[in-house]
Amino acid sequence: MNEANYSEVSEFIFLGLSTYRPTQYFLFAFAIISYAATFLGNFSVVFIVIFDPHLHSPMYFLLANLSFVDFCFSTSTVPKLISDLYSGHSIISIQSCIFQMFVLHLLGGCEMVLLVAMAWDRYVAICKPLYYLTIMNPRMCLLLLIGAWIIGLIHSVAQLAFVVHLPFCASNEIDSFYCDLPRFIKMACINTYRMEFLVTADSGFISLSTFFLLIISYIFILFIVRKQSLGSLSKAFSTLSAHISVVVLFFGPCIFVYIWPFPTVPVDKFLAILDFMIIPILNPAIYTLRNKDMKVAMKRLSVQLLSRKSIC
């Protein structure tokens, strides 16, 4: 294959979730509703945390940033999907495809670190309550946030460094609605077996190791609290159950996509819908509906807004 042929492919075509037009109309409506719910749910959390002084604590600072990352994660793919379903044409340039993958891995890496930071926050709050505000001071919270974005950036750049200069000269059809590394690499004109292995091993190892680290840390916290009293254990479990739910929802699809040895397109598409349209809605719901302080803050802000309207 001569080098001149490498430049023939300049854009990719998404095959999307379905080629059946009535199904596409249903998916179009579903994507709009889910994206609107994602926006309202996550920015409600951010809004409440910012404007309610009672929630100006490390836990809610990290939670608000997690909600912001969740919204950005959904925004990286869903608006493009909505546009493609509406127009019936699903085309993306190679440069835009690479940028989309960069954003996805940046946000994914950032969210992993934020979840670890939230686990650390809960450990200090439950196991070292007297030192909580000393350890989780504003400077520490800011360092954790900056560290999350830096690690996410390093992870994303490390992943894309292998693929950014790949030549494409044959098929330009991606059987999905967004760009992901495994499919992107397979479309190259060269033998990419080693590259696929490295990328999959990197993402799979990071996802799996972080997942087990978080689960072990939560079990460790519960084990320590169990020695104190059953009442403390019940309270700690109630607090941590929301965190565990979010961790399982976030890491489950990631681990399946990068580690499961027998990938299938329908399952991958279902997991993609789960990742970009369902989980970003569930996360704020889990944290608000299972959190007494958040529910009280929502009622308090609602009363304040209604009282201001009545005055006006």
Q: What is the pLDDT of residues 36-52, one digit of tens each?
A: 999 999 999 999 999 88
Average pLDDT, the chain: 85
Closest CA relative to residue 220, chosen from 246, 240, 245: 240
CB-CB contact of 111 with 250 (8 Å)? yes
Query: What is the average pLDDT across 147-173?
Result: 87
The residue written with tokens 């869903």 in the block is: 78
DSSP string, 65-105: HHHHHHHHHHHTTHHHHHHHHHHS--EEEHHHHHHHHHHHH
Give me the sheet containing 91-93, strands edge to edge.
91-93, 11-14, 173-174
For position 6, what pLDDT does the model report?
Answer: 47
CB-CB contact of 42 with 14 (8 Å)? no
For position 229, what pLDDT does the model report?
Answer: 62
Tokens encoding 4? 């001149």
User: Does the pLDDT value for residue 184 go beyond 90?
Assistant: no
Taking only the tens place, the pLDDT of each residue in 229-239 is 656 666 677 67
Q: What pTM does this model have?
A: 0.89
For position 196, what pLDDT does the model report?
Answer: 77
- C-alpha to C-alpha distance for 125 and 117, rounded to whole angstroms: 12
If one compares 298 and 59, the residue with the highest pLDDT of the two is 59
For position 151, what pLDDT does the model report?
Answer: 93
Query: What is the average pLDDT across 9-30?
Result: 88
- C-alpha to C-alpha distance for 311 and 186, rounded to whole angstroms: 62
Ranking 50-59, 189-198, 214-223 by mean pLDDT, the lowest is 189-198
Helix (H) or strand (E) holding 12: strand 11-14
For position 312, what pLDDT does the model report?
Answer: 58
Where do the H-state alpha helices sit in 161-192? 181-186
Query: What is the average pLDDT across 10-16?
Result: 87
User: Does the pLDDT value for residue 69 go beyond 90?
Assistant: yes
CB-CB contact of 28 with 42 (8 Å)? no
Q: Do you know the residue count of the chain? A: 312
Rounded to the nearest 5 percent, the helix, strand and coil shares of the chain are 80, 5, 20
User: Does the pLDDT value for residue 179 go beyond 80?
Assistant: yes
For position 235, what pLDDT does the model report?
Answer: 67
- C-alpha to C-alpha distance for 307 and 312, rounded to whole angstroms: 9
- C-alpha to C-alpha distance for 241 and 221, rounded to whole angstroms: 12
Which of the four pLDDT bands, split at 50, 70 and 90, describes residue 226?
confident
Radius of gyration of the chain (CA): 22
Which of the four pLDDT bands, split at 50, 70 and 90, describes residue 157?
very high
List the beta bridge partners of residue 24: none
Closest CA relative to residue 203, chosen from 255, 260, 240: 255
Which of the four pLDDT bands, split at 50, 70 and 90, describes residue 2?
very low
> What's the CA angle centered on 143, arms 239 and 203, to 5 degrees?
75
User: Does the pLDDT value for residue 3 go beyond 50?
Assistant: no
For position 195, what pLDDT does the model report?
Answer: 81
Phi and psi angles of residue 223, each rounded to the nearest 5 degrees, phi first = -65, -40
